[in-house]
Chains A and B, each alone.
Chain A
């Protein structure tokens, strides 16, 4: 890479946001680190040819995440005892946030990608569509479906207290 200093500056200024986005996408601290490293490695290898590095990095991030989630085995894990329902206290803001994070992890990889790009990366619907390589209409419907799931799940978990 000819402009290695430029790449270093890019990582220093945007690395934290990309790392956090990766953790939100994977729902896991360490898998998020792996994901952002994979994406930024792709960025480094094409650094001299990329015109919009942040857009490329975000696209690499969500593409790698969706590809990885396709490969990952998602089998049942039988247990003898049913897991306890989280003891949320509607009056406790911290519990609400924990619950919301848990619900985010239960979204499909594509839904989670749309939510993260729209509400964490502050991308418009058009930008989100370009990053994910899907039509704007699909972004709208996916986002709407994800938010509905979050609301319904949150309401059912807390017994409609909100």
Chain B
């Protein structure tokens, strides 16, 4: 057999005539369109979330820069006003119940910059905003706070914060005589002048002082605060170092 064009056309046309169900095709097309739209919406949602996170991160970085600049200005102002960077140990202190004012355990903060001095903003401010008061808590162990906390407010609080900010940023210095003795850790809970609670600052005695983003070395609260934490007379009386 050697097929001619007529035979070929005849073979090709054999068996034709079966109709198609348009409803089935339309249903399938609608399902495909729906699936495409869902997929597109999912991708759009992911893109929106990623963009939102990026924008929020950018805004946060901008705010950090702003706070850093304003804090530096505040430090300069405080330094110029007092003429000394030392905390006034004769200031009146207020006692508070540690169980009400302090966390039950020391907040665990990762050391910024991988623990290296001056890395990734570790030399930034410990207190992002001007402070109106600072509650100082002492811990014998991470899970054992002293029964009494000390509250410092007003200019004394600002000075205490400035002292902590001015501590060594590079580390490696000697710790010197510790006034804390058995106290292993201090936690400083500051309230800003706008009334907002700030991130806790954790101070391991003769170790690191950090709020999770900034890092200082070899600093501890003044002796009168440490004494007050140990249970000395506090309320309403000036305490001298």
Contact = CB atoms under 8 A, between A and B. Distances in A.
Interface string A106-125: 00000000011001100000
Given A17-B16, A41-B28, A115 B1 contact: no
A148 B25 CA distance: 38
Nearest to A22: B20
A150 B2 CA distance: 8
Tell me if A's interface is mostly helix, strand, loop or mixed. helix
A148 to B, nearest CB: 11
Interface in A103-162: 104, 115-116, 119-120, 147, 150-151, 154-155, 157-158, 161-162
B12 interface: yes
A44 B29 CA distance: 7
Contacts of A150: 3, 8
Interface residues of A, number: 40
Nearest to A150: B3
A4 B26 contact: yes
Contacts of A17: 16
A54 interface: no
B181 interface: no
Contacts of B1: 88, 90, 96, 99-100, 154-155, 157-158, 161-162
B20 A11 contact: yes
B32 A41 contact: yes
B108 interface: no
Contact of B12 (A15, A24, A158): A24
Interface of A: 4, 7-8, 11-12, 15-20, 23-24, 36-37, 40-41, 44-45, 88, 90, 96-97, 99-101, 104, 115-116, 119-120, 147, 150-151, 154-155, 157-158, 161-162
Given A11-B20, A37-B24, 11 more contacts: A7-B26, A15-B22, A16-B17, A16-B18, A19-B16, A20-B15, A20-B18, A37-B28, A40-B29, A45-B32, A100-B3
